[in-house]
Chains A and B, each alone.
Chain A
Amino acid sequence: MATIELERLVKRYGPATVVHGIDLSIQDGEFVVLVGPSGCGKSTTLRMIAGLEEISDGTVRIDGRVVNDLQPKDRNIAMVFQNYAIYPHVTVADNIAFGLYRSKLSQSEKRRRVEQVAETLGLTHLLERRPAALSGGQRQRVAIGRAMVRDPAAFLFDEPLSNLDAQLRTQMRIEIKRLHHRLATTSVFVTHDQVEAMTMADRIVVMREGRILQVGTPLELYENPVDVFTASFIGSPTMNLLPGSLKDGAATLSLGGTVRAPFASATSSEILVGARPHDLVPSEAGSEGLTVSGTVAVVETLGSETLVHIESAGQTIIGSAPGRQIPRIGEQLTLHAPMEKLYYFDKATEKALAAR
């Protein structure tokens, strides 16, 4: 159990700065997900917390103690890697026991701990097997077991689910979540997958090019993205962004039509109006809000709903129809999103405009 605090954390590789002074404070027992596109510095940040990467500037505190100069083994953290990093030449039991390598416990006590962890993770019947005889999901569980067995101050995960197939990923996601609920150990989880971030996090940290763009609960990020990047990164399918120009408290969209723009002021007159596909539904009404019409180009039937891609003035816009309603391709369709579901961004700075 521990808090983790990052203060103006910087990482440089030669002349290149890849982490630009990150500030982040993680509560005891919190599950924080670092999310962002590949190469944005998530792993580097995590590895600086772990002590696997030297800190160029700033401080890392674990449980109030500055750990900048401590070896990984002295930070009392455990880490789970993308390719599991479990050793092929020893059994599952021995792999898990590596987590207790430095522990002063007696052999029998160690054995008991390993068995207990195996029990929790459903690995008991596999204890004497070699990793080669395990499936991907089982291997990842062994890796988690090795991390758990020591009862560390914090878990660090670096894309631990990326090597699993889609179904298993969903399952492991739930398992890790459940485990965290039980153990309540501070966890930092790195992923490039926004769905993973949304479903697992207590708080999400959105990163881009070595900087934190926004920190918040999944819903906060979904409801109030501070900029275009977060808005289009969080939520699937991606938010529609329609360019328009501002005039007399209303935006004239480049694809036709106007939307009322309910914010006090903007620095420029060029804006982007955002609407999530789930809020953009087929409608006849010309009521207040965003209305777009176009030709149906693609229909994705998901059962519970139907995603409709329409084309209007050279732009593709994604909306959603109820599951049983399947528009025909080539058909004309009008989509509508209510006023209170719209997002507004300054086109030049990409920052969100005013709270709704």
Chain B
Amino acid sequence: MKAAASIPVLAMPKVRPGRIIAWTLLFIGGIIMVTPLLFMLSTSLKDASQVYDLRVIPEAPTLDNYIEILGDGRFTRWLINSTIVAVIVTLSNVFFDSLVGYTLAKFRFRGRYIVFIAILSTLMIPTEMLVLPWYLMASQFGWLDSYWGIMFPGMMTAFGTFLMKQFFEGVPDDFLEAARIDGLNEFTIWWKIAMPLVTPALSALAIFTFLGNWTAFFWPLIVTTSAELYTLPVGLSSFAVEQSIQWEKIMTGASIATLPTLIIFLFLQRYIVRGVMLAGLKG
């Protein structure tokens, strides 16, 4: 600090070579990741004739695609479908994953360990293998081609349960016991005392669940047949199939679909970074 005080104000801070390498790598990485997004946005602002003109800044930018897409009843329907599915599944996960996670973390009961292992073991099975039993189940119960059919496999997740269990284990028992002495019932203790103490984990869980469901493609594609029930990703891909591929329309739809994701990242950046760290440390 003493040395710094004597340096003229205009002197540049010293840059270490390690920093330069790191920045360069991050910069390249950033470009690689941003380029597709830029092309998506730029294509959405072009008319059909310009689509194969690969300039990033369109020659004659137009909002026609947006007007057309948003005016297309099917698209808005898919948007609403995606929102309904993602919101309900997220709420359900926040509620049930934490309820089960809390029970596993804070109550001693017979078979607790077996339940935990059973939940954990489903983490080892890839989605692709689960699709078949899900489909059979949905068809047996008559859930095919319905909102519930899209949502039911994700209403609770093993990962979310595991994550919440780990976090609830970090909540000191004293908090719960103090509440027990004050006369709160067990459900209220969970809801009013334990849940607020794990909000970082809850926000991470909510964000990941929402994004995961918003972008989900494989299962909604399989379980839905009527276009009114498509979610956005499924609907957009149907654009590509039905008509001769209209890239500018697909890109416009994709741009709109990306918007919630972008907004979430912009506003909840802090929680996402923390969530990733927490999930990494604990999960």
CB-defined interface of B46-57 with A at 8 Å, one 1/0 digit per residue? 000000000000
Q: Which of A52, A82, A84, A102 contacts B182 (CB 8 A)?
A: A102
Kindly report which residue of chain B lies nearest to residue A84, judged by CB atoms. B174
Closest beta carbon of chain A to B232's beta carbon, Å: 36
- For residues 163 through 199 of chain B, which have their beta carbon under 8 Å from a beta carbon of chain A? 172, 174-175, 177-184, 193, 196-197, 199
Q: Which of A72, A82, A86 contacts B181 (CB 8 A)?
A: A72
Interface residue count for A (Cβ, 8 Å)? 24
On chain B, the residues within 8 Å of A50 by CB distance are 177, 181
Q: How many A-B residue pairs have CB under 8 A?
A: 54
User: Is there contact, CB below 8 Å, between A85 and B175?
Assistant: yes
User: Is there contact, CB below 8 Å, between B174 and A77?
Assistant: no
Closest beta carbon of chain A to B113's beta carbon, Å: 15
Closest beta carbon of chain A to B89's beta carbon, Å: 26
- For residues 110 through 154 of chain A, which have their beta carbon under 8 Å from a beta carbon of chain B? 143, 146
How far is A351 from B250 in the complex, measured between Cα atoms in Å?
90
Kindly report which residue of chain B lies nearest to residue A50, judged by CB atoms. B181
User: Is there contact, CB below 8 Å, between B197 and A89?
Assistant: yes
Interface residue count for B (Cβ, 8 Å)? 15
Closest beta carbon of chain B to A341's beta carbon, Å: 43
Determine if A88 is an interface residue (Cβ-Cβ < 8 Å).
Answer: yes
On chain B, the residues within 8 Å of A88 by CB distance are 196-197
How far is A143 from B184 in the complex, measured between Cα atoms in Å?
16
How far is A85 from B173 in the complex, measured between Cα atoms in Å?
9
User: Is there contact, CB below 8 Å, between B174 and A73?
Assistant: no
- For residues 44 through 87 of chain B, which have their beta carbon under 8 Å from a beta carbon of chain A? none
Contacts known (A73-B180, A73-B182, A102-B183); A81 close to B174, Cβ less than 8 A: yes
On chain A, the residues within 8 Å of B175 by CB distance are 85, 87
User: Is there contact, CB below 8 Å, between A87 and B180?
Assistant: no
How far is A86 from B175 in the complex, measured between Cα atoms in Å?
7
Q: Which of B180, B193, B199 contacts A72 (CB 8 A)?
A: B180
How far is A101 from B193 in the complex, measured between Cα atoms in Å?
13
With a 10 A CB-CB cut-off, give which of B172, B175, B177, B178 has the most chain A CB atoms.
Answer: B178
Closest beta carbon of chain A to B243's beta carbon, Å: 53
With a 10 A CB-CB cut-off, give which of B172, B174, B175 has the most chain A CB atoms.
Answer: B174
Q: Which of B179, B181, B199 contacts A78 (CB 8 A)?
A: B181
Q: Give the interface of B toward A (CB within 8 A).
A: 172, 174-175, 177-184, 193, 196-197, 199
Q: Give the interface of A toward B (CB within 8 A).
A: 50-52, 71-73, 77-79, 81-89, 98-99, 101-102, 143, 146
